């Protein structure tokens, strides 16, 4: 499946911003990767705009002191967000009755 143009553009823009901030702080990639707790290759991929995990992006943003880059993603609840702002799928579940859990029945495998 081909990556849409907007995704590639965002990856590239974020990578350039990370690289520019790292260079402005005179940090070698290896130092930033160590500070962020990510693999050097993961940081290189992020800076190159060739894709990165969400964990890498969050860890690097925190290491650079730029958690606010992610703030809007975290605090803007969408239609499927619960009270804490985390996303959930499907219908809301009723509260669990404490101490009254029943075993889950699993049908036999045919």
Q: How many domains, in total, are found in the chain?
A: 1
In order along its 110 residues, the chain shows pLDDT tens digits of 555 788 889 899 999 999 999 999 999 999 999 999 999 999 999 999 998 999 999 999 999 998 888 887 766 555 544 444 444 444 455 555 544 444 444 445 55
Does some domain include residue 52? yes
Query: Is 0.85 surpassed by the pTM of this model?
Result: no
24 assigned to some structural domain: yes
Asked if 53 contacts 43 with a C-beta cutoff of 8 angstroms, the reply is: no
28, part of any domain: yes
CATH number reported for the structural domain that contains residue 15 in this entry: 1.10.260.40
Q: Which domain holds residue 47?
A: 5-75
Q: What is the pLDDT of residue 30?
A: 96
- Confidence (pLDDT) at 84: 44
Report if residue 9 sits inside a domain.
yes
Each as own residue / partner, the long-range contacts of residues 105-109 (CB below 8 Å, 24 or more positions apart, any chain) are: none
């Amino acid at each position: 499946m081909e990556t849409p143009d907007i995704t590639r553009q965002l990856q590239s823009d974020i990578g350039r911003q990370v690289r520019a901030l790292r260079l402005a702080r005179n940090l070698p990639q290896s130092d930033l990767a160590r500070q962020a707790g990510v693999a050097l290759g993961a940081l290189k991929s992020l800076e190159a705009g060739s894709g990165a995990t969400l964990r890498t992006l969050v860890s690097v943003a925190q290491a650079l002191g730029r958690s606010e880059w992610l703030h809007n993603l975290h605090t803007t609840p969408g239609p499927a967000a619960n009270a804490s702002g985390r996303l959930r799928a499907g219908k809301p579940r009723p509260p669990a009755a404490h101490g009254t859990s029943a075993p889950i029945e699993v049908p036999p495998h045919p």
